Amino acid sequence: MRRPIEDGLSLLAGAGIGMAMMYLFDPEVGSKRRQRIASSTAQAMDVARETTGQAIHTVSEGAKHLAAGAASKTADLSERAAWAARDLADRAAGAVSGTVSSASEDVSTRVGEHVSNLTHALHDRQRKWVNRASMALGRERDHNYVGQTVCALGSLALGAGILWAFDPRMGRSRRAWLRDKTMRSVHEIGDFFRVVGVHTANKLRGTVAETRSYMRSNAEEDDNKLSARVRSELGRVVQNVGDVRVIACDGYVTLEGEVDGAQISSIGNFVLGIRGVRGIDSRLSPRGQTNAPTTPVSTAM
């Protein structure tokens, strides 16, 4: 419970110091405020100096009167004291001789006891100082100086910012300026992120288009390879392979042209067995028959 109270008081004290510094060293009206405070202080010093001079004069006059009265009384007292001193001296001369011996013994005993008591007291105090020093050093090790420094600087900045924004004379214009700057910064940040978003979207679209074109080119290359493979394999079963047109698209092969009528069905089955062929669309016609019906599409299982 004690630590939060100390931190709160430290924060308030730092904020107060920051406000005082901002009040005195304000970049716009700080010099006028310092001059006004200096003039007020000089006037207060002049008033205090005059008041002090009058008081000193009054005291000196009273002291003179008291001194005059005291001098007369002192003369009477001195005479009386002289007669009393002679009487006491006579009486003490007889008593001193008998009491010196006993008094010396009593004094030595008391001095010894006093010295021993002082020695014990010094030892106890030394032990307490050592314990307090060790405890203080232990606490110093536990302190977080970096955090305390940051907290102090933050409280000073907080106090200065509060007084800067809520100054009685310039606070309204400063708050308006701060609001305009904040809104401008917000708009600039929004425009920046908007431009970045548009640029990023364009880059993503370009990347997607490039990826699609790359995949399409790879698919076209695969289709060309499949067409070449089918055409080379057809040379084994078709005599005039140049009369057959082979078109491949995504693994599906279309055959067009004229061949011997007996080879149409065998060519279809043969093409289905070629690696990479998923299905065929045989549009082959018997040689010499231009309007012959085409064979339905066959699909490889």
Reading the block at residue 89, the tokens are 């001296």
CA distance 98 to 109: 19
CA distance 239 to 146: 93
* pLDDT band at 292; cut points 50, 70, 90: very low
pLDDT tens digits for 21-41? 777 777 777 788 788 888 888
pTM (2 decimals)?
0.31
Higher pLDDT pick, 149 / 1: 149
pLDDT tens digits for 190-209? 999 998 998 898 888 878 87
pLDDT at 193: 93
Higher pLDDT pick, 104 / 42: 42
Average pLDDT over residues 233-255: 86
Which residue ranges make up each domain of the chain?
A: 2-169, 215-299
CATH class for domain 215-299?
alpha beta
pLDDT at 26: 75
181's CB contacts (< 8 A; 6+ apart) are none
Reading the block at residue 69, the tokens are 């009265």
pLDDT at 100: 46
For helices 30-142 and 2-24, give the axis angle rounded to 10 degrees. 150
